[in-house]
Each structure stands twice: as C-alpha cells, then as structure tokens.
Chains A and B, each alone.
Chain A
Amino acid sequence: MFEILEQAWAFNLDRETVFGLVEQSFVFVVGMTAILASLGVILCASPIYSALYLIGNMCCLALLFLFYNAEFLAVVQVVVYAGAVMILFLFIIALLGAKKEERDFSFEKLMGMGFVALLFCELLMALRVGFTRPIEGQATEDAIAIVGSAKAIGIELFSHHLIPFELASFLLLVAAVGIISLAKFSYRPIRKRTRV
C-alpha cells in the first residue's frame, strides 16, 4: 500500500501515479470508515443504533467490493444483506423491544477483550507470510471486464460450482421450512358455539 506513497514522495507524478494515489486514499478512507462503523455496532447502547451502524458498515464494504472489481457482489451485498437481512433485523428489534442496555465493566469483559487482542495480533502474523502460491488465475481484471462481472460469475458458478449452488438453494428451502415451524403461532380453534 505504501509503494504508491513512496512513488508520490519521489515526486514521480504522472497520471498513473495520481490515479493510483487517489484510489489508494479512497480505499483507505472507506476501510477506516468500515472499521469505525463496526466499532459503533458494538459500542452503542441502543440496538437500533447498532443495526444502523451495521448497515453503514455493509455499505462501506460494498464500496470496497466495487474497488476490487466485484461489481455483482457489491450489488448483491447491498440488495440482499443490507437490504433484506438488516430490515429483518430491524423488524425483530422493533418486535422485541429496543431497551437501552446499561454499561458495566466486569472482569469477564476485560478478559474477553484481552483474548481478542491476542487474536488480532495472531491474525496479523499472516502479513509476514505473504503469498503461498504463485498467481496463476485467468480471471484478471481485463478478462472480467470483457464479459462483465455478473456474466463471469454466472459462467463460473453454473459450470464449476454447480453442486454448492444446488446445495445452497436446498439450504434456503430448509431454512424457510424451519422458521415457519419455529415461529408460527399455535392454531387456536374458533369457538363453535357462543355461550348462552
């Protein structure tokens, strides 16, 4: 990420560098916004605000998807995830009540945060590893741009990854049946006769 900065610092300012710089800074800003939004998710007292922050996070991620040439996925993220799933979340929050949660700072929370900090450090160790195999894929930026992102994904999905696709649809069916049986109201019979 910092090579562009180095290049810019060397005042090697040509068109490519400037575009690269702007793009890099934009990505950086969106990424930081995503992180801040996620912080907001966990730190808000009211669940409604947490949900809204989550929607913001998802939109930031969609923007990032666009930067990574995954246009189809970006649209799917906004439409399905931020659109349908989060709306469902908001409905449930509205149904169950959105009381504000009081803060307390217990030892458990400290321990949890400590563990997660360790986790973060360990995950960053992956930075030292780098790529484990050479780049040999065919789906470069230009190749996708010829067919268009959605079509490229479609060709890949329905040919090489057909079975996961079918299984995912099956999973959705099972989930639908499951929630109907879980959350339905029990059927009460209507009184046949009224009391005299």
Chain B
Amino acid sequence: MFAYSWLILLLPMAGFIGLSWWGNRLPRSGVGLVGCGSIGGAFLVTLVVLADMLLLSPDQRVGNVVTLYPWIASPHFQLDLAVLIDPLSVFMLLVVTGVGFLIHVYSIGYMRDDPEYSRFFAYMNLFIFSMSLLVMAADFFFLIVGWALVGLASYLLIGFWTEKTSAVLAARKAFVMNVIGDVGMVIAAFVVFQYFGTLNYVDVFAKASTTFSPNDDGALLITLLLLVGAFAKSAQVPLHTWLPDAMEGPTPVSALIHAATMVTAGVYLVARCNSLFMLAPYTMYLVAGVGVFTAIFAGSMALVQFDIKRVIAFSTMSQIGYMFLAVGVGVFSAGLFHLMTHAFFKALLFLGAGSVIHALGGEQDIRKMGGLRHAMPITFWTFLVAALALSGFPLTAGFFSKELIIMESYHAELGNFLFWGMAVLGAGLTGFYTFRLFFYVFMGSSRSPGAHPHESPMVMTGPLLILGSLSLLGGVLGPWTHEFLSPVFSGVIPLHHEDALLESITVGVALGGIATAVALFMTGKDRLDFAKQMLAPVYDVLFHKYYVDEIYDFFIVKPVKAVGAFMEERAEKDGIDFVVDQVGAQVREVSRGISIWQSGSVRLYAMNMVAGLVTILLFVIFL
C-alpha cells in the first residue's frame, strides 16, 4: 500500500540527473528551486507515508515490502528491487529528508558566490538519494549499494573545491576508509547468504533466532563484519581519522553528511540488524565499549582544537559514540532518538558555524573570532540553544536523549558501571569544549580587527531558527519515538528508571563542565595560561589527535605505498607491459621475416605459382 514511496527515491534522483545535465543552463534561482524542491517533495512524501503508517495498527507496520521489479529469480537466490517501509525506515527518512531539506535551503545562501553552484546541488541530491536508498533498502544488497553511493557522494562533496589540494587529499582519505568498511559489509553479506540463503531483511531476521544460538560463531562473524562497515562509516575508533579531515568540504556538506545523516548510518545498521546483534552479546559489548571509548577519545581531542569545524567534528564523533553505546546495551530506540535530536542540534551548530565563517569571509580559526554576539544575534541565540542541547542542559532535547542513554548504560541488561562512568565523563567533557567554543566565538571582544561581520540573510537564518526550535522542544517527541519504533525492536520500550542518585550525578557533571568553561574563559586570561602551562605535554598529545594519523601513516600507509611502488616497477613495467609489448614486437619481427618473401620481382612470384601448382597437382593425382 505504500506504492508511492518510490517517489522518495525518484525525486532526488531526478534532481541529480536534471541538475547534472542542465544545471549550467538554469539560472541560479532555478537551480536552487530544483535542488531544494526535489528534497522538499521527498519530505512531503515521507510525511504522507508517516500518516499512512500511523493509520495502521502497530503490528501491521512492520514488514511492508514494496516491490518495484522482481530482478533475479533463480531457485537459489531471489533479489527484488524493493523497499521496506517500516517505522525505522520512516523515522530515518524523516530525519534525512527533513534536515536535508533545511540544509539545502541554507546552501542556497551559503554557496551563492560559488561558481559551481549547480554541481553542488546535484551532488547533494545524489547524496540524499543514496542515503534514502540506504535506509529504505529491503535487503542487504541494496543496503550495500546505498552504502557505497553515500561514500561516493561524500567523496565528491568533500573534494568539491578541486583546486584545494588539502580537500582532495581529505576526500581520498575518506573514501579509502569507507572502502575498508565496504569490504567488511560485502563479506558480511556473503556470510549472511551462506547461513540464510537469502539477503532479504524480512526473511533473515525471521530466521535469525532459529539459525543461531546466542554467541554462535556465525552470529559473531556476521555482526563483527557488519561492525567494520559501521565503524568506518560512523568514524569510530580505529577508523575515525577521516572525519576531522572531511571538514575541508563546504560547511553545508559537513552539516548534512558528517553530522546528521551519513555518519549515523552505522547506528542505523546496528538498529536494523538488531535481531542478529541481540544474538551476539559479545559483539554488543564491543559496540558499547568502542562507542563510549570514542566518546571520551573524541571529546578529549575536541578540548584543544582551534578550528571551529574541527571542534564540531570531534563532537560529532563523540556523540555517535553515545549512540553506539545506546544500541550496544540494547536500547535501540534510545540510540535512534538521540540520532534525531543530535541531527537537530549538530546541524544547527554546523550551520551556525557556517554563518560565522560566511560573515567573517572564510575565517575558521576561533582564536581570531570573538565578540560576534551583537553583530549576529540570530546566529548567537541559535548557537547557544544548540550548545545547551549538546551539553545536555536540562529540558533541551539533548538532555532527554542523552540522559536516557546514560541512565540506560547502567540499568540495561548489558550495561555496567564502567560504561556509565565513562559516559558521564564524556558528558562533562562535552559541556566543557562546547562552551569553550561558544565563548571563543561569540563572547568577548573581536580579535580580528579588519572584519565587518553582519547577520546572514534570511535564507540562511530561517533553517537556523527552525532547527533551534526543534532542539529546544524536541524532547517531547521522546515517548512517541520509543512507542513508534518499538515494533521494529520486538516491542521493547526503554523504561525510565527512577534513580535519583545517578541522575543527579549526571546532570551535575554536565553542568560542571559548563561551569569550568565559564570559569576558564569568561573570567580573565591568566587562569587559562596557567592551565596551559601545567598541562603542556597533555596539550601536545591532544592537539596532535593522539598521533593516530602519524601512527597509521608509519605502519600502514608507507608500507602499502612501498609495495605499490615495487609492484609498479617490477610487476607492471617489467611484467605486464613487457608481455604486451612483446606481443606487438613479435608480430613485427615475424612480419619482417615474412616480408622477405615479397621481393617485388615478378619471376619469383611466378616461381611460387608454379611450385604451388605442382603441389596441388600432386594432391589431385595421388590423393
């Protein structure tokens, strides 16, 4: 009955194709209209799908597969061009198309002066299409197709300014790490096929509990391989190094892809395959452990960065760690709720940062910013709302989602005290670095004398306001979200545990982080310098991102490059090229030998003719 849901895929695809072909011939406003219109249309269709879905009863909402075309139908393997419309995919689609639409509108203003306007919107439409395909796929095959396409779109958009070498290198790095994840995903799909004989979600998840016993080898193998893909896409340790570099792309790209949607694909994956993951508790521990470790790891690195976008990037990494913590302890809908609220306030943070960068003419160093409070009021207030939400200040949307996760990290079956402790520490770090950023950028007096910042145009501040209100009021969506998503997770709704002690400690630590930031940054510089002096070696390590990039370069990149150079020299040039060249050279030699026969002398030709005649007569007479 959701046959029109294909429009959600077709509209962005049509936008992409249209803008790639005719984008240069349309005027700027036309390109913006087409680019945003396709996503807006997709969002409207999503709303209609949501409305239709709410008309059904909860157990009817799961397992609606809309098939467009039965593609492969052999006895051993069936694959259809189909999408799965269930609460999880609709939820993700709401986030993707909704926040995507707002960011598209924002980009109309942000990318206004860019000469490659239409190409940008074409790539953004391609990204929305790929992400929609990823969340709507009805089987592992199209999941991987969407996964790879999203990686492609990320590559294209990070390296959008092709004349910037650092951007191109960052795009390549992101793509290579994504491919590492893709390999894991593909092998996981093969193993799934080996155990289940099919790649459909519906069939696989129905048969999961009967095929595997808990902690069975097969379940562990599949889930671990899926995790490789999830960690690569969501930038968790150890495959995280591409995300800070990915900030070389334009700010709307960072907002859409590297904050709200693509990097959350890993969380979606774990949530979608919850039947498989619940059968492998060891992997769940790994998920939660890696998630909470990344939360602290990234948070610590964010403390000392001074590029505004990098701070927010590390913050993203940290928050996704929280989402993985949530799905790792088994409260999937809590993780997804945090995904939604995080999309709101993180996109808001990025867009606000973009507004600041745009106003200051491309300046991204926060040490050169300051005092923008009066010059850009709307950006100031929305940024403050986002920062409060990110830190988990009470009553913001972020508070509800984050607090639920932290509580569940202790109270859930798979949770324990260690997880809770690290999560609380991460919350404190979050408060500190977020407000450090806020104070550097907006408070105080301006540290760049030549700039004349002004408020951004309406097309940019409109989305900021919408996202700001969502970040403030989004908390009310919590209970509804849990109830809506429960059929997908076998009817489990996370309970609200009344544990006053832990809750107060959590809130206290978060507020403490904010207070520390206030103390260090708002009351004079000498305390900051004192702290810096005391912690100088720690500062160095944090600033260089724990030297992970250098370690990878030394242990992995350099050997691979050496092997590649060697292979090029010996295998390629001496091996393959030699063989191919010899084919041509031998032909030339042989033909040179044969061409002696062609002397141009008539008598020799006649002699050949006679000789041939003799031979033929021999055959005719005797044989």
Contacts and interface: CB of A to CB of B under 8 A. Distances in A.
Interface of A: 108, 111-112, 115-116, 118-119, 122-123, 125
Interface in B455-488: none
B613 A119 contact: yes
A119 B617 contact: yes
A118 B621 contact: no
B579 interface: no
23 contacts: A108-B603, A108-B604, A108-B607, A111-B607, A112-B603, A112-B607, A112-B610, A115-B607, A115-B610, A115-B611, A115-B614, A116-B610, A118-B614, A119-B610, A119-B613, A119-B614, A119-B617, A122-B614, A122-B617, A122-B618, A122-B621, A123-B617, A125-B621
Contacts of B613: 119
Contacts of A115: 607, 610-611, 614
A112 B603 CA distance: 10
A123 B614 CA distance: 10
Given A115-B610, A122-B614, A122-B617, 9 more contacts: A108-B607, A112-B607, A112-B610, A115-B607, A116-B610, A119-B614, A119-B617, A123-B617, A125-B621
A1 to B, nearest CB: 23
A18 to B, nearest CB: 39
A119 B618 CA distance: 9
Contacts of A116: 610
B450 to A, nearest CB: 87
Listed from nearest, the 4 A-B pairs whose CB atoms lie closest are A122-B617, A115-B610, A118-B614, A125-B621
Q: Which of A108, A112, A115 has its CB near the most chain B CB atoms (within 10 A)?
A: A115
Contacts of A108: 603-604, 607
Q: How large is the interface on B (under 10, 10 to 19, 20 to 34, 35 or more residues)?
A: 10 to 19
Contacts of A125: 621
B606 to A, nearest CB: 8
Interface string B567-582: 0000000000000000
Interface string B588-623: 000000000000000110010011011001100100
Contacts of B611: 115
A123 B618 CA distance: 10
Q: Which of A111, A119, A122 has its CB near the most chain B CB atoms (within 10 A)?
A: A122
A111 to B, nearest CB: 7
B602 to A, nearest CB: 12
B266 to A, nearest CB: 83
A108 B603 CA distance: 9
A145 to B, nearest CB: 38
Nearest to B604: A108
B369 to A, nearest CB: 92
Nearest to B607: A112
A122 B622 CA distance: 10
Contacts of A111: 607
B554 to A, nearest CB: 75
Contacts of B621: 122, 125
Contacts of B618: 122
Nearest to B622: A125
B622 to A, nearest CB: 9
A125 B603 CA distance: 27
Nearest to B620: A122
Contacts of B617: 119, 122-123
Interface in B286-302: none
Nearest to B616: A122
A159 B89 CA distance: 93
A125 B613 CA distance: 15
A177 B190 CA distance: 79
Nearest to A112: B607
A104 B604 CA distance: 16
A111 B607 CA distance: 8
A156 B604 CA distance: 42
B253 to A, nearest CB: 77
A115 B618 CA distance: 12
B501 to A, nearest CB: 115
Contacts of A118: 614
A111 B610 CA distance: 11
A112 B614 CA distance: 12
A115 B610 CA distance: 7
A122 to B, nearest CB: 4
A132 to B, nearest CB: 14
A108 to B, nearest CB: 7
A112 B618 CA distance: 17
Contacts of A119: 610, 613-614, 617
A177 to B, nearest CB: 25
A2 B607 CA distance: 36
B607 to A, nearest CB: 5
A42 to B, nearest CB: 13
A111 B618 CA distance: 18
B139 to A, nearest CB: 75
